[in-house]
Amino acid sequence: MQIGPYTLANRLMVAPMAGVTDRPFRQLCRRLGAGHAVSEMVTSRPDLLRSLKTSRRANHDGEPGPIAVQIAGTDAQMMADAAAYNVDRGAQIIDINMGCPAKKVCNKWAGSALMQNEALALSIVDAVVRVCAPRNVPVTLKMRTGWCQSHRNAARIAVDAERAGVQMLVIHGRTREQGYRGEAEHDTVTAVKAMVRIPVVANGDITTPLQAREVLRITGADAVMIGRAAQGRPWIFREIAHFLDSGTELAPPLVVEVQRLLLDHLVDHYALYGEHIGVLSARKHIGWYVRHLPGGEAFRDSMNGIASADAQLAAVSHYFDSLGTRMDRLPLMTTEVGAAASMPFMETA
C-alpha cells in the first residue's frame, strides 16, 4: 500500500474520529497492527490554529510516520494555509475532510456539506495540492457517497480529485443524510475503484475480520479503514491482519493483556490532556473497553464518580483483576455489519 512516497506496513487504517483518534489512541492502534492512522480533524481557521484544542489534536510527539493530519474548512486559501502550517509542524500527509456529517460542521458548509458544491470542493482540493506538491507531501481525500440519496456524486468528485493531484481516496459508504443509520454500502467504492488509478479505501461498518476480507474482495479496494469498531477494541487490526494472512481467526486477547493495554492507554492519555481533562475524557474509552464484558455497564457508570487519575487507574485495575478470576480471555466478538451504529461515538466521517 503506497501513499505518494510512503509505503505503509499493511492495508489497515484507523479512521479520523474527533475526540477519539488523538495521539495516544493512534499510537495504540499502530502498535496493535494498524498500518496507517489519520489525526483527528483540525480546523483551518487561522484564529484557532494555535488554540490548546487544536495543538492537542496536532500533537504527534513520538508517533511513527507517516504523520497524516486531516484538515477541515470551506475556504480554499484558508485550507491551503492550514495545510502549509501543519506541514511545517511535521505533517507528512494532508487529508481533506469531505465526510463529516456533524451538523455543527455541515452548517458551516464544511465536511460532507462540501459535496453539495462540487466547484468549491474542487477549488479546495486544487489549493491544498498546489501548496503540498512542491513539498512532496501527498494529499488524500475522505468523503461520503454524497449529500443525500438523490445526490450521490462521490464517483464524479473522485475522478476530479485524482485529476487535481489527490493520491488516495477514502469513501464511507453512506450519504451525509444517513449519518450513521442503516448499513454502509460499498458498491460506490467498487464504482470509484473502477474509475481511478490511485488507491481507494473502503470505510463503514467493517467490524470483523471476515467483513474486512469480504469488502476487500467485493470492491477491489486497496485498503479498509476502521473507525467505531476500534473504539475499546484496538486489537481489531491485528485480528484482521491475521485473518487476511492465514484465513483463521485469532483468539481474543487475554484479560491481563487488555488490562495492561488500557492502563498504558490511560497513562498516555493523562500525559497529553493533564489530569482533570484526562480523567473526564478517558471515561468514554473505558466505557468502550468494557461494554461487552460482565458487569461492564455498571462499571462504566461508576466512572462518573471518579475524579482523580490514581483512583481511575485503581478502579480499572480492580475491575480487570476481578474479571480475570472468571475468564482468561475476552469473549469472541461476532458483531455484524450495521451493529456498530448503536455504539457511542464521535466520528468525523
Kindly list the catalytic residues.
100
Rounded CA separation 116/201 (Å): 22
Mean per-residue pLDDT for 240-266?
A: 97
User: In the prediction, which pLDDT does 349 show?
Assistant: 34
- With 80 as the cut, is the pLDDT of residue 325 above it? yes
Q: What is the pTM of this model?
A: 0.90
Q: What is the mean pLDDT of the chain?
A: 89
Q: What percentage of the chain reaches a pLDDT higher than 70?
A: 91
| Measured distance CA(185)–CA(85) in Å, rounded | 35
CA geometry: angle 112, 114, 119, nearest 5 deg:
150
Asked if the model's pLDDT at residue 102 lies above 70, the reply is: no
Higher pLDDT, 341 or 194: 194
pLDDT-wise least confident of 11-25, 223-237, 335-349: 335-349
How confident is the model at residue 110, as a pLDDT? 59
Tell me what pLDDT residue 54 has.
80
Place of cell 474509475: 195
Q: Are 199 and 189 in contact (CB under 8 A)?
A: no
Q: Which residues are registered as beta bridge partners of 146?
A: 175
Averaged pLDDT, 264-291: 97
pLDDT band at 147 (very low <50, low <70, confident <90, very high): confident
Looking at the chain, the whole-number percentage of residues with pLDDT higher than 90 is 73
| Closest among 306, 237, 243 to 270, alpha carbons compared | 306
pLDDT at 71: 93
Virtual CA dihedral for 300, 306, 309, 315, nearest 10 degrees?
-50
Exposure string for 220-230, b = 16+ CB within 10 A, e = fewer: ebbbbbbbbbb
Q: Is the pLDDT at 339 greater than 70, yes or no? A: no
Rounded distance between C-alpha atoms, residue 126 and residue 154, angstroms: 17
**How far is the C-alpha of 103 from the C-alpha of 100, rounded, in Å?**
9
Residue 115 has pLDDT above 90, yes or no: no
**d(Cα 262, Cα 312) in Å, to the nearest integer?**
11
| Range from 107-111, 144-148, 154-158, 273-277 carrying the lowest mean pLDDT | 107-111
Strand partners, 95: 70, 140
Q: Is the pLDDT of residue 338 over 80?
A: no
Q: Say if residue 342's pLDDT is above 60.
A: no
Distance (Å, rounded) from C-alpha 172 to C-alpha 178?
11
Q: 209-240 pLDDT, tens per residue? A: 999 999 999 999 999 999 999 999 999 999 99
Has residue 337 got a pLDDT over 60? Answer: no
SS3 category, 168: strand
Q: Is the pLDDT of residue 104 over 60?
A: no
| pLDDT tens-digit map of 23-74 | 999 999 999 999 999 999 888 887 777 777 887 887 888 888 899 999 999 8
DSSP characters for 90-104? Answer: T-SEEEEEE----HH
Span 293-322, mean pLDDT?
96
What pLDDT is attached to residue 149?
Answer: 74
Q: Any idea which residue has 477491489 for its cell?
A: 220
Q: Any idea which residue has 487529508 for its cell?
A: 95
Which residue intervals of the chain are DSSP H helices?
23-31, 52-57, 76-88, 103-106, 118-132, 154-164, 187-195, 209-219, 236-246, 255-273, 275-290, 296-302, 309-324
User: Which carries the bigger pLDDT value, residue 281 or residue 334?
Assistant: 281
pLDDT at 154 over 70: yes
- Give the model confidence (pLDDT) of 164-182 as tens digits: 999 999 999 888 767 778 8
Closest among 106, 53, 101, 109 to 78, alpha carbons compared: 109
CA-to-CA distance for 193 and 191, rounded, in angstroms?
5
